[in-house]
Amino acid sequence: MKILRPLRPLFASFILLTAVTGIVYPLAVTGIGKIAFSHQVNGSIIEKDGKVLGSTLIGQNFSDPKNFWGRPSGAGTFAYNGLASGGANQGPTNPALKTAIEDRIKALHEADPENQLVIPVDLVTASASGLDPEISPAAASYQVQRIAKARGLKVDQVRDLIAQHTKEPQLGLFGEARVNVLELNLALNQATKQITKQITK
């Protein structure tokens, strides 16, 4: 028993630290988060009429010409798969990367043949997470003509929506200006409905 006596403080410290770091701390952080940041802690989910439309943290595979398209996804076999977050890990000399970019450029040109603007890089390359929910204002602006034509909106109306949903760098210093694609498409749907109502009156 004398041999075990020096080990008692060690076991006591182990049990105490396990309880504090494995139980008390996670519960405290989760509790504070639910109170102070309930929307974020619950996944930043957007709902309408009781139906989940998506999360502002995870991109979606928008492919309809009437919608803004997000950044391509390299997350697994299925695009924007939250369980397979990760990049394609393809280097600049990898033929597969070149083929993927060419296919994306082709899809953009086919959706809007008259558009002669330079395609922003974030519309043809995937992010490291493969789940990026945001694009640059330039990437959004590139799609304005296509969307305005498809929805019967004025170009300036679509540009105004982009401006309204553009988030500037934090504190004006950190990160870059960006636009959440899901939020922008929802605002676009709402604007289209309002204009349709005005026309039918």
Q: What is the pLDDT of residues 52-104, one digit of tens each?
A: 888 888 888 898 999 999 999 877 677 787 777 877 777 788 888 899 899 99
Reply yes or no on whether the pLDDT at 4 is more than 70: no
pLDDT of residue 1: 58
Contact between 165 and 180 under an 8 Å Cβ cutoff? The reply is yes
* Token pair in block for residue 186: 């929802």
CA-CA-CA-CA dihedral for 161, 162, 167, 168, to nearest 10: -120
Domain boundaries, the chain: 1-42, 44-200
Q: Which residue has the higher pLDDT, 49 or 147?
A: 147
Nearest 5°: the CA angle 148, 150, 156 is 5
